[in-house]
Amino acid sequence: MHLSLLGLFVAYISNCYQPTAALSLQGPPKSDRKGFLHQGALILGGSVPLGGLLSVPEAAIAAPKLYEPPANSQVGKVHIITGASTGLGLESAKRIAAAGATVVLTSRTPTKGEAAVQQVQDYLSQKNVANSNIYFLTLDLDDLSTVQSFPERFSQLLPNTKVDVLMNNAGIEINKREITRDGFERTFQSNHLGPFVLTALLFPLLNRDGSRVVNLSSTAHSFAGVLDLQDLNFEKNYVGWLAYCRTKLENILFTQELQRRADAAGFNWFTTTCLHPGVVGTDIWRDNVAKGSDITSKLFYGSMKTVAEGANSQIYQATEKPTLLKKGRYYDEFCNVKQLESFAMDPASARALWEESEKLSGVAFKLR
């Protein structure tokens, strides 16, 4: 994605997000979308300084309250968090571990996994919390063989252990079309197909006394439009940012279909939700921002929510009492349920995506 388009996207999301001094459960006010798009057109035309667009009013910079699960509320619970070596996943691991959970972080390499575990332990030491139940397992969503072996490796790490929470946090956004070793467009596999397979294979290990799956989506799904089920691999007119938007829509449709099927199977112990974390300065943007100047990079990241702020909603959904969550729904960064566009609530598209995901991956997702 060109920087001007990236600025347009960030401006739109930032316009929807009004920082507050405390974590609000009321949600942001509605944005003036026409006004924003006019502003975006000026950006693209070079009429508005990028720095002015990405700056945040000084009065709005007060740090918002961070959602922290009550002490010891997660003792005895097991959380798996994908993509937890950096960013939102690592921040989630820290606060969930501080509440007493057994946490299994995933990373692409052992080096990153070991470093992440140490960072969590350092955080716990600062909080004067003792919790030795922090582990890591390697997982590369771009390689389905590591996804398929994950449940067995988890059971070897923690024998006879059930999973209370699976947080599908990992995701990418890239400029250039890449093909994985499994033959799929990389954004599609990393953001949807890999998590779909992982969830399918871990489902038998979920705790029947109450468990949940939390899927990280994005408000970027709004730009996807109706899902093109004939081009999930994005073989026609590839655009990196649009591929990302489509996978975020797929995350939402997958969440809805998973809940529908669980409900139909009588699994009232199961809850799945998805969310937009806000526009957060994580590593996901590095492929785009790295191409700009140092000044551009500072302005870009300076306009965003911090990682600590951005992790609020997913931590909330992973740890809050299940009776307070709306099953199968999409949440915003303020932990509020948000209404979706009709194309993001289409059961036919969700069902077709599920069936196509089974076909492409060769993994039948049987709820049992």
**Dihedral angle, C-alpha 279, 57, 296, 9, nearest 10 °:** 40
**244 assigned to active site:** yes
- In the set 244, 316, 330, 331, the catalytic residue is 244
Alpha-carbon span 80 to 12, nearest angstrom: 32
Which string of DSSP letters, residue by residue, matches 138-152?
E--TT-HHHHHHHHH
Tokens of 113: 């996994």
Alpha-carbon span 55 to 7, nearest angstrom: 12
Alpha-carbon span 70 to 78, nearest angstrom: 16
Lateral strand order in the sheet of 165-168 = 134-138, 102-107, 78-81, 165-168, 211-216, 270-275, 330-331
| Residue 59 CB partners (closer than 8 Å, separation 6+) | none
Contact present, 98 and 124 (Cβ < 8 Å): yes
Alpha-carbon span 237 to 83, nearest angstrom: 29
Q: Which of 307, 319, 93 is nearest to 214 (CA)?
A: 319
Catalytic positions, please?
A: 244
